Structures are given as C-alpha cells and as structure tokens.
Amino acid sequence: MGSSTKHIFITGGVTSSLGKGIIAASLAKLLQSRGISVTIQKFDPYLNIDPGTLNPYEHGECFVTEDGAETDLDLGHYERFLNTETSQDNNVTTGRIYNNVITKERKGEYLGKTVQVIPHITDEIKKNFYKLGETGKYEVVITEIGGCVGDIESLPFVEAVRQARWDLGSNNILVIHLTLIPYLAAAKELKTKPTQHSVKQLLEAGVQPDILVCRTEKHLPMDVKKKIALFCNVQLNCVIEAMDADSIYDVPLLMKKEKLDERVMTKLKLTSKSNTELEQWKEFLGKLKNPTQEVEIGLVGKYVSLPDAYKSIIESFTHAGASLECKVNLTLISSEEINADNVQKKLGELDGIVVAPGFGERGLVGKVEAVKYARENNIPFFGICLGLQIAVIEFARNVMGLKSASSTEMDPETEYPVIFLMEGQKNLTQLGGTMRLGSYPCELTKNTKASVAYSKPKISERHRHRYEFNNKYLKEFEKHGMVASGKNPEGGLVEIMEIKDHPWFLGTQFHPEYKSTVLNPHPLFVRFIKAAIDEKQQK
C-alpha cells in the first residue's frame, strides 16, 4: 500500500436507491471543509466495462469526466459537491476488473496458476481500491460500493473490503453501512429488523460496519438507536440518523448535525486543518430556498419518465438558478408528443426551452418543432449536444430553405448533411468509448452571447458525441444569421452556434452541464436563465 491514505468504504443494505452517492459526497464535503484532501470513487458490480453503452433508463445519465471516461452519475454528485474533478480511476465496474484479469491471464502473467475469484479478482479489486490513494494526493479516499450487500454480484467487493482491513490496519479503514429503517404506519413503529438482517449479511462476509447511517422518514428515538447499536454491534453514537431531506444539498448539513464527520475524524484519528468552505455552501442553500423570482423552463427530450437521465442538466439549473435567486421550474417534455399542431399548447407557457442531448432519430420531429417555436417566438433557447444539432437542422430547413437537411445519424442519405460523421469515426465497429469524449479547448468569437457569458476568450468543455457540424455549410449559416461563436482552435470544429437576431438562442456541441458545481454555476446556464427572466418580464 505504501501510502498513508485512509480509506472509507460505504456499503448499502435493505434496498437500493437509499442515496449512497449523496451520503458519500456529503461526508466528503464535510471532510473537505475541515481541510482534508479527499476523493470519492465508485465500484459498480455490473459486467459492462463502463456505463457508456447503457440505455439511460438502466442507471440514469452517463457522466463524462475531464479525461473522457464515461462513468456512473454518482461521479457527477461527487464533482458538484466537492468542486474537484474525478477521472477514469474514480469509477470501476466488475466488467473492468474481469477484463483486466482476463487480459493478464492471456498474457501469461499468472504463470500457469488457476485464475480464480479469490484471490485474483479480489486482488484486482483491491489494487483499484488503493490506486487513487497511492497518487499521494489524498488523505482520505471514500469508496462507494454499488448495489446492496447480499447481492451475488457484490460478494467479491465485500470480500475485498474484508481483506482491506488486513492490508490497511484498523486505524486506516472505516466501513459505513447505509441502511433503511422503515416506518410502518399501521403499527406506528419504526422497524429495525431489515437493518439487523442486512448487517448480519455483512458480518457473515466478515465485515463489521463501524458506522450505520440510517435512512428514515421519522426521527429515531433513543430506544430504537440503542436497539440498532446492540444488535448490530456498533457504538451508540455511531448510529447516525439520516432523515429524508427536501434537497440533496441539505444532506451535508444534516450529516454535520448528526456528527457523522466527527465520528469519522475520531475513528480514523484525523485532525482538522481548517473550517471554512461550508459558509459558501450555506449561502448557496440560503439563495436556493429563498428565491425572489421564478421561471418556467421546458426540457425537451426522449427520456422524460426518468429524470435521472438528465441529472447533470437538472442540477445545473439548480446551481445557476440559486445564483440568481431564481426558482427554476423545470418540466420534462417528451419530444415524441410534440407536433406542429400542438406545439403552441405544449410550449406556449414557457420562458425558456432546452433541447436535450440524445441519440437516434426517435422524437426528431418534435425536437425540430420545439426549436422552430423558440426561434420564431423569440423564446430563449438552449440546445445541448443533440440539441445544437437539431437547432442547426431546423435553421437549415426553415431559414436557409434546405428542406431535406438533416444529420446523417437520422438520415444517412440526406442531400444536405449539415451534421455528419467525421472521417475518423466512419469505420468504427466498437461502441464503447469510441465517441469524441472528454475535455477539448474552444475559442470564442468576440461580441457573441457565448463570449459575454464566459467573459473570457478561451474555454474548455467536455464532449460526448460522434456527429459534428459540417463546416462546408458554415458560410451559408453565417450569411443567414446563425454564427459559430465557439470553435476548436486546432481543427476548426464548430462547438457553439447562436442566432444573432434573437434574445438568446444558443447551442453547444459540448455538454456544459458536466462542469456546473454548487460553487461554480455554469455561465451558459446562468445567462440562459437570465434571458428567461427577461422574457418573462416582457410577457
């Protein structure tokens, strides 16, 4: 191990969706506010190498890091809470672990041994557990184990956590188990049995949790806490209540009140170096909870029944809205339900329209109608990735008169491929990790909405797409009033398009939502909301 990094493992029990990611991010935030350098990593028990090839309906949005890793959406929470970047190393799946082990086996690196789950898979898991700590950058590494203890697929991870206690020594490791204390309304009782069972499963695997974080909708009375402590073999003050919160951003303060960070500091023998950052956090919360105005924004996309599919966009609106003391009422609107006849009815009440990222041709007609409506009615418009591409298609068709213009993604034979596949992308047969991914530089054109928003000439933003604006048509677009306000300095790829003669109409080929954090709301979201506020005042 060779490093002095302390490791905190967070497991979950009873049910999924208890918010391990938010608890991990909140604890990290509290440690960060004490001057401790901390990062969070997520280990997911599924067999996909990464979530890049997963339908958003499976696990929600795919979050993209600076270095172009397609990762679990919890990494988005980590970045938004901590205001620090994560990387490929912060998200490991069972698929990646097996892939590494099998690759080594094929190279003969196991010297003829039988390759087995224990020790080879667990060794590979542990190697990845320790990797970020070994960079020397972090005093504490928090590892969130996806899924629930007791699931067959989680077993090798739990076994690796058991072994980690031996590797690291008990002063350097802490296991926090997140569990649920359900309230039975008929019996008027909080029930501890599911938690007892879930801890028992951990104990059977040889892992004794040090701290229990108990999700609950009612306060836990002392006798309930005592019962949990006794039956689960943890100290009474390590039974932490986690009441349902109004906002995920309340959780760090709730956890501070419950002294989760204090327990962690004591158990890991850590000393605080400062106590500053939460002031800004509280200021953000103050603004979030006391808005002075509100706007109606419609997010047009195809995954509307699962808001997690648009997690980073939704959170970006929360950050930017709070900075303006503006409540953003975001409505998800299915693009498949919009057509030329109902568009006024569907979008007429909105102060701003966003067309979301996405893949494939489903809902194309509705998205084009939404763009057209925003453009013609001077409603602030923000297109993100596919949203930009749709804006370009709509402009080509309805302003430039290229009626059959399209993207080759939706119409490979289109006469006017205003969005197309770049040469390098054409012969790819593999799906995972083959898009333009991660951070790329972009130069802004002076006196544009983009350069006003960023107030600097050079930016860098994260990408996740295959198709690009076809520069062959750029002059024509600019002649008609849609200009490229951001370009990649090397190849001249168009990164931002905007319409000059419109209150605020802008689309980005990149995904600004991946870089918005609580302390750094994204300037494009801020400007878009400002434009929506102006629009509302004019109505």
Number of neighbours of residue 18 by Cβ within 10 angstroms = 19
Shortest distance, position 497 Cβ to ligand GLN, whole Å: 14
Find, among 202, 200, 219, 192, the residue nearest to 161 by Cα. Answer: 202
Residue type, 56: P
Alpha carbon 158 to its chain's center? 25
By beta-carbon proximity to ligand GLN, the closer residue of 44 and 513 is 513
Shortest distance, position 416 Cβ to ligand GLN, whole Å: 17
HSE-up of residue 486 (Cα within 13 Å, Cβ side): 28
Number of neighbours of residue 69 by Cβ within 10 angstroms = 22
Structure tokens at 4: 């002095």
Annotated active-site residue in 394, 511, 522, 535 = 511
By beta-carbon proximity to ligand GLN, the closer residue of 18 and 388 is 388
Cβ contacts of residue 19 below 8 Å, gap of 6+? 178, 215, 242, 248, 251
Shortest distance, position 255 Cβ to ligand GLN, whole Å: 34
Annotated active-site residue in 139, 369, 513, 535 = 513
By beta-carbon proximity to ligand GLN, the closer residue of 168 and 313 is 313
Shortest distance, position 338 Cβ to ligand GLN, whole Å: 18
Active site includes 511? yes
Residue type, 437: L
**In Å, how far are 84, 356, 460, 461 from 454, measured between CA atoms?**
20, 21, 11, 12
Residue type, 266: T
By beta-carbon proximity to ligand GLN, the closer residue of 76 and 358 is 358
Number of neighbours of residue 339 by Cβ within 10 angstroms = 11
Q: Is the dihedral of CA 310, 311, 316, 317 positive or negative?
A: positive
Residue type, 300: V
Q: CA–CA separation, 468 vs 470, rounded Å?
A: 6
Active site includes 513? yes
By beta-carbon proximity to ligand GLN, the closer residue of 110 and 359 is 359
Q: CA–CA separation, 403 vs 396, rounded Å?
A: 7
According to DSSP, residue 471 is labeled G
Structure tokens at 480: 């008609």
By beta-carbon proximity to ligand GLN, the closer residue of 338 and 437 is 437
By beta-carbon proximity to ligand GLN, the closer residue of 260 and 419 is 419
Shortest distance, position 469 Cβ to ligand GLN, whole Å: 10
Shortest distance, position 85 Cβ to ligand GLN, whole Å: 20
- The H-assigned helical ranges of 83-211 are 94-106, 122-131, 155-168, 193-204
Shortest distance, position 390 Cβ to ligand GLN, whole Å: 9
Residue type, 371: V
Work out the angle at residue 58's Cα, subtended by the Cα atoms of residues 56 and 59, and round it to the nearest 5 degrees.
80
Annotated active-site residue in 385, 394, 465, 495 = 385
Question: Are 484 and 506 in contact, with CB atoms under 8 Å apart?
Answer: no
Shortest distance, position 48 Cβ to ligand GLN, whole Å: 18
Number of neighbours of residue 273 by Cβ within 10 angstroms = 10
By beta-carbon proximity to ligand GLN, the closer residue of 40 and 364 is 364
**In Å, how far are 26, 145, 175, 235 from 6, measured between CA atoms?**
17, 16, 11, 21
Question: Are 252 and 82 in contact, with CB atoms under 8 Å apart?
Answer: no
By beta-carbon proximity to ligand GLN, the closer residue of 124 and 468 is 468
Shortest distance, position 335 Cβ to ligand GLN, whole Å: 13
Phi, psi dihedral angles at 12 (to 5 degrees): -130, 150
Shortest distance, position 465 Cβ to ligand GLN, whole Å: 3
Quick one: 436 exposed, middle or buried, by C-beta within 10 A (0-12, 13-18, 19+)? buried
- Per-residue buried b or exposed e for 502-512, using 16+ beta carbons within 10 Å of the residue's own CB: bbbbbbbbbbb
By beta-carbon proximity to ligand GLN, the closer residue of 175 and 494 is 494
Active site includes 315? no
Residues that bind ligand GLN (CB under 6 A): 357-359, 385-386, 409, 464-467
Active site residues: 385, 511, 513
